[in-house]
Structure 1
């Protein structure tokens, strides 16, 4: 049976990318309801950027947003509509649908689109061809902190010639309380469903269609200036694969996808509403595709060649009804219409070739090169933005590449080394935003359509191994990256703020390129198995980043963090206690509005059991000692009653339960 390229990491030395990691299969150890952040919280090297309980972005090694190439099933993308990232890509899929997450740790492949800081591939449920017929699962979960409820049902019908998977889910999260018993505005509701249909034309050809929709409602964003009344997302993807083409051609794959996000924001629940009413209706369209040929011109040479495309278009505006000016009521409220995205687009057309050469049966060298033609344009600019720049269609030409070696020194030890040059053209906020507050600070930001592309030159060496009894396992990665033309917002004292001109800060930040920046860091894990079923696991991650031009850290650099996990795992029963230790962060970016944050320690307890066939029950206590803390990457409360501009605090003690039935 042919398998689609939904999975990047297959356990094959001759096809897998270098320096990868695969997270646990979530459905094998279900213990608690999953919010978006739960997909990444327990993957070493990851942190979460929190703007609320819904708008949560993953951060890996101090890379975030478009610095990370985040996708579903080997290539499908859905870009956010909101310039403040109220709706990042991770909100557009049912978390329970994800079976695993694969990470390529840096720009060490050219096959999955332009990649700057790494690739994150979220793999959705695939048909189980060993279980023909009708199958399914249903789940329900509850969290005490916020009185939150999640449920999901999934059905699948599998036959040799075709298969269908359908799922639907509903989530209702309330405002949570932090460790000081303070209620944080963070509630949201979402309804999701999806259908995946696969057709097997022959034993070596498969076509698959995947349709999903997500509907977010009444979403509170504690660290953003507005809330979301609704966020509607539609995604369709088509995948085709032809295996065993001939003696030289091994496989041909093709993918096409389309996504549309309809997003509506308002400030009706904010204190500023008494002075100014604001609503914003915006939309984002993402289309793309890929064709790739896997061919073997020589017995020891495995080549992947192809083309891909990504088109992002956004438009929409903000309507303001000004009722007070300079503290005085306006006799006749005035209406203003502001262009948010100014009808802009970015198109990336890429061509790539990546070759894997077997130097020895246990050693593979990989080399790849990629060319991207990036076209951008703004079709409906505001008058002040048009006056500031010489606008028009712009085309960039980016070259990226990688070279790496992976060797199985023995059955017990693997060594990898890689260099990657990742290139990222400026995103739409950095190019075209016009006097909007889109950062962690209260500054207005101005885009710069003339920005050069960021370049990440990253070197890494990693190893993993185990002892002869397989009871002791370890791994570590060490990396260094220096950046060219790093993009940051810099205060322009010649440019005053546009909205509320008497407010502080008075000036505007403009996105610019800087040259002298770097980061370095490591991740390490160790696990000892004791008495067959028991284990002790320790892991840590550290990033140090520096912007020498501004003599400060790069923004959103997480502090040193480590975990110690004591647990046991049997076929029908598992449990663990996890101790989380996060250090104080003194290396900050003051120009980004960051402040030093204290370290913290928390303990999580999880227990799962399969009492009878098909039933899985999980219970957990997260932050068992009710610690009051906030993550360094959390954005600050914005435009909230009774909250100063300090980083969002995390949930206090949270009891949860999760029940899943498989049939």
Structure 2
């Protein structure tokens, strides 16, 4: 890996030097801002991927997201997987975790250290720092790493469009349910030659109450800061560095067996781009990133502590890079070619101090065990890709791309029982991904998008190397399988986007079908018994296996009607059906049909809306995953925002105005909690919020 990153750095330095010698220096007042590859969707039909959506409405939401995953609640087709208020993962069309390619600023990644995903990537950057979310709805591009179910690009704040000098933003929020507070302060300093963005944030969330007044243990605190420095080397090249750290403290996880004492993450990224290199070569870009997560979890405040004290210290290192060349062999053809690499390394152990035997008798001398969590494992992914866009007509673009990934995985410190079960030589996957699509503007107001994508994902580290740990929605111990074949998603999609002549009515729809190969799930193996607490139920263990037959299909529909200039009515519908033919049940974590109806008013200085959410019953479930049928429910959210004077925003909201007691189908169940059975955790009841923001 060091060789790979040395090559990336050398290439970057070489091109910087080349750019400086081939372009004449111009007066600093003539510098133009080179757009780095942080943004995937730019509004250019010749370069944008197909089947995309962009959202950017944090200021207008006027509520306090717990973490970045909360920003997905209002995006059509998305649900969230919830284990408390902190460990929240986005789910899109029943794809989740590494099935979704989640990244920051066009490629930066930070992988979780906890096998129970107490610290998913969405916890390492605060929501206030996200300026927009870009979504590619399937494996329809090969440029941004191996992609199975779609890409989520979280774009952080940058100083585009601001005048030179000092600018800033301060915001604060409060919500009554949990007595929770959020604060953030951000500064921009901009000159022609360079710019700096710095921010610091603090969040203190208490345990919330559901609609029945039951307190759900879900408190947490986090402190975050970051600094981004950009330097315009010349009029055609830019270099940018981004450093940030996040510190989570005293995090309660209602649906996990332990709590987080601390979760510290550090992320460093370096981006470079040069444009106008010649008649054919339009641009060259380079990215390198590094992240480290240090995580400690314990059961010291849980019922199981009376019998066994457990303390688990784990860490994760992620590093990677990308080189990409944009060239145009002809006026109608644009090509992106490049290489990328990603390295993931995890290690750590759980120390168990057993104070009572299986009969409940206190031991004179406690027994101490050291359980290897990650067994010092790593995964390396080296990719090469080419994607071409051909303007076959002034109103139509044909896209085709192919990608090859060499994925190597190894385990360096296996537990004895794991080593005895498997051949643990280094494993190698050779993955081929491809896509072909066409985007056609049918009329001035209607665009047709048709796409096929083959997305391939190698098994992640949990699926390969976890060794008898409870990591699912159910109480089973899970056992990894190093011999898993890569998952394949053959996805077909057709979509329409349009508007009428006066722009008063907008609509969009997508219909998709995915045929899976080698889909990875945990399946009960009656030949393997529990390793820890052998007398507990369930007695047997789940082992990760590949399925032969699985698929999903679904749709999203949106309509937005403007009324009397200032009023609007918007509705969104989403449905996904997934089937595991091998076990004759649903695939796990498939959300039910959901719909939202929004009636609102928007003017320059104030806005208001009422959103009515309808979630149907979900009885098409994965019983083997521990799922149970979930009742439908309805909620109402009301929001109001105003700009009483320039650059000052004030907002108030009431969420779940009906004080409904409910749980989302994707919520995990209470685990190792006093006075709670193993039932899905309930969501917050009525919640009043206030938000204030000042820009200068």
TM-score strictly above 0.5: yes
Residue 185 of structure 1 pairs with residue 217 of structure 2:
yes
CA positional deviation for 1:218: 0.0
SS in 2 for 1:638: coil
Q: Is the 8 A contact 2:140 2:451 kept in 1?
A: yes
Q: Is the 8 A contact 1:30 1:616 kept in 2?
A: no
CA positional deviation for 1:30: 4.5
Aligned residue for 2:282? 250
Count residues with an aligned counterpart: 662
Aligned residue for 1:465? 498
Residue 427 of structure 1 pairs with residue 483 of structure 2:
no
SS in 2 for 1:377: strand
Query: Residue 434 of structure 2 is aligned with which of 401, 405, 417?
Result: 401
Q: How does 1:16-35 map to 2 (within 5 A)?
A: 16-27=48-59, 29-35=60-66
Aligned residue for 1:520? 553
Structure 1 unaligned runs (5+)? none
Aligned residue for 1:49? 81
SS in 1 for 2:304: helix
Query: Residue 587 of structure 2 is aligned with which of 554, 559, 582?
Result: 554
1:274-304 Cα distance to aligned partner (Å, 9 max, x none): 0000000000000001000000011110000
Q: How does 1:215-234 map to 2 (within 5 A)?
A: 215-234=247-266
CA positional deviation for 1:602: 0.2
SS in 1 for 2:420: helix
SS in 2 for 1:591: helix
Query: Residue 305 of structure 1 is aligned with which of 320, 332, 337?
Result: 337
Aligned residue for 2:515? 482
Aligned residue for 1:214? 246
Aligned residue for 2:541? 508
SS in 2 for 1:384: helix
Larger mean CA deviation between 60-69 and 124-133 belongs to 124-133
Aligned residue for 2:363? 330
Q: Is the 8 A contact 1:30 1:658 kept in 2?
A: no
Aligned residue for 2:677? 644
TM-score of the superposition, structure 2-length normalised?
A: 0.95
Residue 578 of structure 1 pairs with residue 611 of structure 2:
yes
Q: Is the 8 A contact 1:30 1:617 kept in 2?
A: no
CA distance in 2, matches of 1:423, 1:207: 32
1:47-77 Cα distance to aligned partner (Å, 9 max, x none): 0000110000000000000000000000000
CA distance in 1, matches of 2:156, 2:525: 45
Q: Is the 8 A contact 1:490 1:509 kept in 2?
A: yes
CA positional deviation for 1:129: 4.0
CA distance in 1, matches of 2:162, 2:356: 67
CA distance in 1, matches of 2:161, 2:130: 18
CA distance in 2, matches of 1:24, 1:605: 19
CA distance in 1, matches of 2:311, 2:529: 24
Q: Is the 8 A contact 1:13 1:364 kept in 2?
A: yes
Q: Detail structure 1 runs of 4+ shifted over 3 Å in the superposition.
A: none
SS in 2 for 1:563: strand
Structure 2 unaligned runs (5+)? 1-32
CA positional deviation for 1:34: 2.0
Residue 545 of structure 1 pairs with residue 539 of structure 2:
no
SS in 1 for 2:464: helix
Q: Is the 8 A contact 2:70 2:80 kept in 1?
A: no
Q: How does 1:276-315 map to 2 (within 5 A)?
A: 276-315=308-347
TM-score of the superposition, structure 1-length normalised?
A: 0.99
Residue 64 of structure 1 pairs with residue 90 of structure 2:
no
1:79-120 Cα distance to aligned partner (Å, 9 max, x none): 000000000000000110101100000000000000000000
Aligned residue for 2:146? 114
SS in 1 for 2:110: coil
SS in 2 for 1:566: strand
SS in 2 for 1:610: strand
CA distance in 1, matches of 2:523, 2:130: 39
